[in-house]
Amino acid sequence: MHVIYGGTFDPIHHGHLRLALEVVDALQVERVNLVPCHIPPHRSGTGATSAQRLEMICLAIEGEARLCVDDRELQRAGASYTADTLRQLRHELGPHQPLVMVVGTDAFASFDQWREWRGIPELAHIVVVSRPGSELPEGSAASCLLDERRAETVSDLWQAPAGKILEFDSPLIDISATGIRQRISGGHSVRYLLPDSVLQRIHEQGLYGACPDRNF
Ligand code: ATP
């Protein structure tokens, strides 16, 4: 089984990292692949560049063999579409190996706005992870899709290459990258919300408005 977990990771934090390890345990896989997405240049003024986000992920997962980074979306020019990434992976893995995409409820709630969303379950399983403060609106396209394709157990995911959606209640960790960026730009501490190595890099490079010489 190949598991990907996509996001902007701007910056990566302990909510992402803990969740990824919970998924490793729950699905009984060897690793989860973090897939940072490309951010169009007009948005980079508010966050870190693709290269900086990738570097922070590498620092965060250093020494943790169960977490890897897959930078294929950063290698592609232009916007990153999950359907393209999944198609590419399906081609590499062949038709039989289970492929799983992990998303938080907040991201899955707007699933019907993703490009080629109807085709995505043909390419991969989806694991929807609960996130503090977000629920799937009843009657929404995402919640109907979940009802149609619900997996009852993890073993359902092992029995087919794609097509099932599993709701996964992982422990809730109320950390967001937006909250981290806001705290940093407001001059507040974000220590313990993300790895120290990442925090140090943020300060060294003055990312998100951090003061390079300020003690974090
Ligand atoms: P931002 O605040 O900038 O939107 P974020 O913290 O939501 O960032 P993303 O990189 O956008 O992080 O998230 C990637 C994926 O991780 C999404 O599917 C999101 O739902 C999920 N996610 C992020 N933080 C958490 C968390 N604390 N608990 C559960 N899921 C999370």
Structural domain that includes position 166: 2-174
Q: Is position 169 within any domain?
A: yes
The CATH number for 23's domain is 3.40.50.620
Q: Is position 138 within any domain?
A: yes
**pLDDT tens across 22-63, in order?**
999 999 999 999 999 987 655 655 689 999 999 999 999 999
Ligand 1 atom with least separation from CA of 175: 27
Q: Whose CA is nearest to atom 14 of ligand 1?
A: 7
Q: Is position 120 within any domain?
A: yes
CB atoms within 10 A of CB 95: 8
Cα–Cα distance for residue pair 4/113, rounded to 1 Å: 20
If one counts the domains in the chain, the total is 1
* pTM, entire model: 0.94
**pLDDT tens across 62-90, in order?**
999 999 999 999 988 777 799 999 999 99
Q: Is position 216 within any domain?
A: no
Q: Whose CA is nearest to atom 7 of ligand 1?
A: 176
Q: Is position 22 within any domain?
A: yes
Is the shortest distance between the CB of 134 and ligand 1 below 6 Å? no
Q: Is position 192 within any domain?
A: no
Is the shortest distance between the CB of 177 and ligand 1 below 6 Å? yes
pLDDT at 203: 94
Q: Is position 189 within any domain?
A: no
Q: Copy the structure tokens of residue 11.
A: 């910056």
Ligand 1 atom with least separation from CA of 180: 2
Is the shortest distance between the CB of 175 and ligand 1 below 6 Å? yes
pLDDT at 94: 96
With 0-12 CB in 10 A as exposed, 13-18 as middle and 19+ as buried, what is 41? Answer: exposed
Question: What is the CA(211)–ligand 1 centre distance, in A?
Answer: 25
**pLDDT tens across 111-168, in order?**
999 999 999 999 999 999 987 777 888 889 999 999 999 999 999 999 999 999 999 9
Cα–Cα distance for residue pair 126/86, rounded to 1 Å: 11
**pLDDT tens across 187-206, in order?**
999 999 999 999 999 999 99
